[in-house]
Copies of this chain bind each other. A is one copy, B any other.
Amino acid sequence: MHPSVPSRSSPTTRRRIIEAAVKLVRQQGYSATSVDGICAEAGVTKGAFFYHFRSKSEIGEAAIDAWCQNRVELYTVDLGDPEDDPLARLDRWLDGLAASLRKPDESSACLLGMMAQELGGSDERVREICRGKLQGWTALATGLLAAVKQSRPASLDFDPEQLAWMLNSIWQGSLLIAKNLQDPESAAVNLKHFRAYLGALLGETPK
């Protein structure tokens, strides 16, 4: 009758587990998050959990995937029309990043950064996965910055990829600090400074 009714629940259950994992890992970190806790948060039993995921690390990877895809979707919306002025697109993107911090439930924590930090020294596999995601993020920024550079012939000769990694570092560091200060504003300020630095590189006259 109602084709939207999921016969049993499989996709829903899997998604609920992942969402619960993302939430808890962002709050407590990966190691401090137990499978039991994820199940309780998701409202499923361990039997169901281990049907969908072979191990805790598997859900960790799934959480990273889900988180990153979610973020990419979130931010690419802000980019707008590729025909626009590259700098305008970049500005919208930066504004989107800053705005995302102020959403109440976001709590200023990047699951990717947290897991990279926590497991980077002990779990080779997760480190590689995080590396791929971080490089993806950076590649996006690199593309934008390269376009901006090309659209501004007067600019100094900077390396877009270097700058993209710097932006990534600022972003991760800002989130870390913001989480500790429980105040996302400094993160927004940092982005502004990055933008100002870019302006200087492009030859804009500071106001």
Contacts and interface: CB of A to CB of B under 8 A. Distances in A.
Interface of A: 26-32, 107, 109, 113-114, 116-122, 127, 130-131, 134, 156, 162-163, 165-166, 168-174, 176-177, 179-182, 186-187, 189-190, 193, 196-197, 200, 206
A118 B118 contact: yes
- Tell me whether chain A's interface is mostly helix, strand or loop, or mixed: helix
A121 B28 CA distance: 6
A134 B166 contact: no
| Copies per complex of this chain | 4
B166 A119 contact: no
Contact of A162 (B28, B30, B32, B193): B193
Contacts of A168: 173, 177
11 contacts: A26-B121, A27-B121, A114-B118, A131-B181, A134-B177, A165-B189, A166-B190, A168-B173, A169-B174, A169-B186, A172-B173
